[in-house]
Structure 1
Amino acid sequence: MKFVQPIRDPEIIEGIMDYLLHKNVRDYIFFSLGIYSGLRVDDLLNLRVHMVRNRTHIALTEGKTKKNKQFIIHPDLKPVLDEYIMDMKDSDYLFPSRQKKTKSGIKGKPIHRTTAYKMLNKVAEKFGLSEIGCHTLRKTWGYHLYIQNPENLALLMEMFNHSKQTITLRYLGLTQDAMDRAITRLSYSKKRVK
């Protein structure tokens, strides 16, 4: 299994959001909901319009843990989201595929996680990112909540269903960041790197 990283640079996140907003609104909303909610990709893909229409929060039962969760719809995303769903039915998936399913011929199902993965990797390539995957959105959300305020660690542990702080820090790539900083400061020469 490939270990994926959060997107650490807020300017890159802003660039990705601007790029997706002008390229494909569906993908913009998918990316934005992911980095603003911390939902797993499978939970994002199963969202239906009625879960976000005229609401301030998304309430759902997580697919993996079967726990009930509630997430605020970020105010920055709300106007674009409202416009995006304006002509959609309440029963529609929020991120519908434009293609018919090969075996059943059914149209209107959500995009598959491999489609989401491909979209994220195309964007990652455009912005010079590596180690990007479906968990990147969730990790980006957690990483920036932690960087904003390390006291959010207990909240993140609960949100991620982790039993130890070390698991959460490793999951967010913060353990690696700390190791990288420590090793960079290590010097055996007389001129110490500060």
Structure 2
Amino acid sequence: MNLVQPIKDKEQLQEIKQWLKERNERNYILFLLGIHTGFRVSDILRLRVKDVQGWNIFIKEKKTKKPKDVKMSNELKKAIRNYIKDKPKNEFLIKSRNGKNKPLSRGMAYIIMQQIADEFGLERLGTHSLRKTYGYNHYIKFKDVASLQEMLNHSHPKETLRYIGINQDNLNKQQSKIDW
């Protein structure tokens, strides 16, 4: 199984955001939603304009069927306000170019992530990297595995640390110190 990784470098994260913003606003919004909310791409693609008009985004997760209420960051809210201006409330937020009002497919979202990977020389990047990037940066900023575990709907803190790559980072650091 090929596991995807979070984007851990904050400078690179900023460069990716700028690159997307200059090229395709829809893809930029998709990226921001992933790294700012921790939603799975399947939940992001189901969002409609009406779902993001306040400060909070409320969803019922497709995978777990659990409700999730997330307050948008200032960066995300500002970008979304500009993006949804003059769009109908029932329009899919991340809309496909095919069909009248169809959401972007998961496959196309993956292709977008592969374009980012190619442009920035990243390996093991996929749509789930957005959620993992959220988790990794949340943990680095707050060091609160319990709240992150709840945000990601994980059953155990160990699962959360493994998921965001913290355990692997620690193992790699230890491995690099072996000198016998």
TM-score, normalised with respect to structure 1:
0.90
Name 2:173's counterpart in structure 1.
181
Find the counterpart in structure 2 of residue 9 from structure 1: 9
Once the 2 structures are TM-superposed, how far is the Cα of residue 161 of structure 1 from its aligned partner? 2.1
Asked whether 1:121 is paired with 2:114, we answer yes
What RMSD in Å do the two structures reach over aligned CA positions?
A: 1.0
Q: Distance in 1 between matches of 2:71 and 2:156?
A: 25
Q: In the alignment, what sits opposite 1:103?
A: none
Number of the residue aligned with 2:49: 49
Structure with higher helix content: 2
Q: Which amino acid aligns with 2:147?
A: L
1:149 CA displacement: 2.2
Query: Where has structure 1 moved over 6 Å in runs of 4 or more?
Result: none
**Residue in 2 that maps onto 1:28:** 28
5+ residue gaps, structure 2, are: none
Q: Return the letter of the residue paired with 2:41.
A: V
Alignment partner of 1:80 is 2:79: yes
Give deviations 1:106-163, integer Å, cap 9, x for gaps.
x22000011000001111111111001111000000001111122x200111122222
> In the aligned structure 1, how far is the partner of 2:6 from the partner of 2:154?
17
Q: In structure 2, give the amino acid aligned to 1:35.
A: I
Deviation sequence 1:16-39 (CA, Å, 0-9, x none): 000000000010011011000000
- Contiguous gaps of at least 5 residues in structure 1: 101-106, 189-194
The structural deviation recorded for 1:83 is 1.5
1:81, distance to aligned residue in structure 2 (A): 1.2
Residue 161 in structure 1 maps to residue 160 in structure 2: no
Where does residue 63 of structure 1 map in the other structure? 62
Which residue of structure 2 lines up, in the alignment, with residue 144 of structure 1?
137
**Given the two structures, how large is their TM-score scaled by the length of structure 2?**
0.97
Matched residues, number: 180
1:75-103, Cα deviation, whole Å (9 max, x unpaired): 01222211111121000000110113xxx
Cα shift at 1:63: 0.8
Q: Distance in 1 between matches of 2:149 and 2:90?
A: 33
Distance 2:161 2:23 in 1: 34
Question: Identity, % of aligned pairs?
Answer: 42
* Partner SS, residue 70 of structure 2: strand
Structure 1 residue 48: Cα displacement: 0.3
Matches of 1:81 and 1:61 in 2, distance apart?
Answer: 20
Partner-residue secondary structure (3-state), 2:90: coil
Higher Rg of the two aligned structures: 1
* Partner SS for 1:131: coil
